[in-house]
Each structure stands twice: as C-alpha cells, then as structure tokens.
C-alpha cells in the first residue's frame, strides 16, 4: 500500500490529542491542565462573588490571591499549550513550499517512510511498539513517545481496510 499525503496542523493536533490519551499519566496530566485547574478557578471566583454579596469579607480576603493565581495559571497553561503545539508542529514539519509531505510504503514486511527533501526511514513491524487509532488518525509508535501519523483523510476506505488488516496481523488483540 502506497500513501502520499500532507500532514496538516489539524492532523498534528489530532495526533497529539490521541497520544495524550494513551497512558494514565498523560490522561491525568491533561485532565488537571484542561479541566481541574479551570474548574477550581471558576468555583473559587463564584465563591468569592457569593461571599462578597453576603458581606463575608474574611472569605473574600482569604480566597482572592489563590483564586487570582488559579485564573492566571489556567490562562497561562491554555496559552502555553497552544504555543507549544504550534512550535512542535513547526519543529517536526519545517516550512517548505510543498508543505509537510509524506510518502509511506506499507507492506507485510516493513514501513518505508519518505519525507521528500528530508530523508527516508525503514521500520519493520517488529520495531513498531504499539498502535493507536481513532477516526481522525492512526499512530504507529516507533518508541514510547515517537510515532508515525497517518491521517484518516489520507486513506480511502479500501486503504483503511488494508491498513486495519495489516495492523490486525502484526498486532493481535491485546498486544498493542
């Protein structure tokens, strides 16, 4: 199976989103960053408003600094995530006139990954550590944190079936 595609910024975000769900540690880190801290900031702000309206100035004085800190932390983390995702995309896929193109040649023996103008690499199925897949992207892990991403839009239904069959042969249920 021969695949030629361009890896877009949206593909990169989908890959990182799927990657962040692969281990419990990454799930906890994402949950704290994306939900717990903003939720604590919102609850604290509501608590301050209710205390202010009820005339409880001691509660307002005690909560004001931590809640302001949580609000700034939530905003800072959200902005840093956006920045780091953009920076990592530009680092992994340096700007070129044709965009971040990929050519993958996948068969039962190996995966040949070619990035025009940058180089090529051969990965054997025994070297693929694990696989993660959703509707938007398929990740073939070559280490705990390095992966080859295949966007869903790059696959025709026939190619998707063929890829799933290859994955099924090399990663029986429970192996990945």
Per residue, what are the HEC states of the chain? CEEEEECCHHHHHHHHHHHHCCCHHHHHHHHHHHHHHHHHHHHHHHHHHHHHHHCCHHHHHHHHHHHHHHHHHHHHHHHHHHHHHHHHHHHHCCCCCCCCEEEEEECCCEEEEEECCCEEEEEEHHHCCEEEECCCEEEEECCCCCEEEEEHHHCCHHHHHHHHHHHHHHCCCCCC
Maximum distance among all Cα pairs of the chain, rounded to whole angstroms? 73
pLDDT of res. 80: 96
C-alpha gyration radius of the chain: 22
Q: How confident is the model at residue 98 (pLDDT cuts 50, 70, 90)?
A: low
State the chain's mean pLDDT as an integer.
89
Q: Each residue of 24-65: pLDDT tens digit?
A: 999 999 999 999 999 999 999 999 999 999 998 898 899 999
Query: Does the pLDDT of residue 97 top 70, yes or no?
Result: no
Q: Is the pLDDT of residue 104 over 70?
A: yes
pTM attached to this predicted model: 0.79
pLDDT level of residue 172 (50, 70, 90 thresholds): low
pLDDT at residue number 154:
87
pLDDT of residue 169: 85
pLDDT at 100 over 70: no
Confidence of residue 119 (pLDDT cuts 50, 70, 90): confident
Question: Does residue 85 surpass a pLDDT of 90?
Answer: yes
């Amino acid at each position: 199976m021969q695949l030629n595609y361009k890896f877009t910024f949206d593909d990169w975000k989908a890959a990182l989103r799927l990657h962040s769900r692969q281990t419990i540690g990454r799930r906890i880190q994402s949950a704290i960053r994306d939900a717990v801290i903003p939720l604590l900031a919102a609850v604290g702000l509501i608590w301050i408003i209710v205390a202010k309206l009820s005339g409880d100035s001691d509660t307002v004085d005690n909560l004001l600094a931590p809640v302001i800190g949580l609000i700034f932390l939530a905003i800072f983390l959200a902005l840093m995530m956006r920045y780091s995702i953009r920076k990592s995309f530009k680092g992994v896929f340096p700007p070129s006139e044709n965009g971040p193109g990929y050519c993958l040649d996948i068969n039962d023996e190996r995966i040949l990954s070619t990035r025009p103008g940058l180089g090529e690499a051969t990965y054997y199925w025994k070297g693929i550590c694990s696989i993660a897949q959703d509707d938007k992207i398929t990740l073939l892990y070559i280490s705990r944190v390095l992966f080859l991403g295949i966007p869903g839009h790059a696959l025709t239904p026939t190619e998707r079936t063929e890829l799933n069959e290859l994955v099924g042969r090399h990663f029986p249920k429970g192996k990945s």
